[in-house]
Each structure stands twice: as structure tokens, then as C-alpha cells.
Amino acid sequence: MTGYGLGGPIRGIVGRPAAFSLGGVAVPPPVTRLSLQKSGAFASGDYAGSIGMGILRRFVVSFDYAHNAMWLTKAAEFDAPDLYDRFGAWLALGYGGDLTVIDVVEHGPAAEAGLRRGDDVTAIDGTQASWDAIFQLRALLKQPDKTQVTVSAVRDGKPMALPVTLRDLISPPGSS
């Protein structure tokens, strides 16, 4: 699972190309997703793909609606690496305001620590797992210098603390 939208889970194969360019401009290789969707926009053969935040965050984006054009100017963060999840679980808003595990990467760090679909995550490294903190938590779980987190969760009404050893699921930029 690589995302979630109105139509439900978005599934795909995730990787990083050796090189990437946009309009003749070499861009640091982003994390990319090859869709496995059977229906919806990402299943259509009419589109080569979508440009996501791994690309657009590198630019100041301006739209010229009168001429149906989008202008991209390199932003200060243009060369920043596009980091990917090192945790291996997808969290979504659950009942009661906590985050619920809705998918776990098989043999990934979260699965190896014992986290399962349906577990309610209440905190990660002491940060309350709420919708307000989701972007902060996702950033934490991507950091290359972070090697372990403690996930506080509830399963079948029983609290648990799981140490999760983070590791790269997609090779970082510049690695072989």
C-alpha cells in the first residue's frame, strides 16, 4: 500500500530510478510508484503517471491558467533527498482519535516488531499518535539517522510497547 484516497487503498511497486529529468532538467531521483491498481485514475492507460510531492516540493510552482501552463522554478530545497518510509506500516485515523494500522509491509520493520493490521497506535517515541501529528510522525519515520522507535499500541484492549528497528525499504539517493 502506497497511499489512500477516496477510492480506498492505493497499491503499487515502489522504487527509485537511477536518473530522472523533467523538461530537460535533471532532478535528484525521487521515490516512484508503479501502480498496481485495477480501477480508477491510476489504472488508466491514458496517463503516463502523476507528479507528486517528491517532485513538486523541489520547485516554486506557478500556474498560468490563461495559457494552460505550469511554470517550475528551482526552490532552495531542490537538491534535498527524497526520503522514504523506514517503518513499513500505513497509519490512518482510527476510532477515538488514535491512529490505526491499516497495512503492514510483509517482513518490514513494523511487522518484524509484531505490529499488525488493526492495532491502535497511541504514541511513537512519546509523541501522541493523532491526526494532528501524522505529518510529524511520518517525517520521524523517514529520518536516516533514526534507527529505533518505540511504538505504544493497543491490541484487543491490551496496551503494548513495541521497539521497532527502522531500516531503508527503498535505497536512499546515491546508494547502489
CB 160 within 8 A of CB 71: no
CB 113 within 8 A of CB 164: yes
- Residue 170: which residues within 8 A CB-CB, separation 6 or more? 14, 15, 16, 31, 84
56 in helix, strand or coil? helix
Which tens digits make up the pLDDT trace of 85-113? Answer: 899 999 988 777 779 999 999 999 999 99
Alpha-carbon distance of 32 to 7, in angstroms, equals: 20
Paired with 161 in beta bridges are 152
Confidence label for 48 from pLDDT (cuts 50, 70 and 90) = low
Of all residues in the chain, the percent with pLDDT exceeding 90 is: 45
Signed CA dihedral, 87, 120, 33, 107: sign only: positive
> What are 82's three cell numbers?
527524497
Which tens digits make up the pLDDT trace of 57-92? Answer: 899 999 999 999 999 999 999 998 888 889 999 998
The single-letter DSSP state of residue 62 is E
**Half-sphere exposure in the Cβ direction for 40 (13 Å, CA):** 14
DSSP notation for 101-160: EEEE-TTSHHHHHT--TTPEEEEETTEE-SGGGHHHHHHHTT-TT--EEEEEEEETTEEE
pLDDT of 176 over the 60 cut? no
- State pTM to two decimals: 0.78
Paired with 99 in beta bridges are 93, 121
- Over residues 144-161, mean pLDDT: 95
Query: What is residue 31's predicted lDDT score, i.e. its pLDDT?
Result: 85
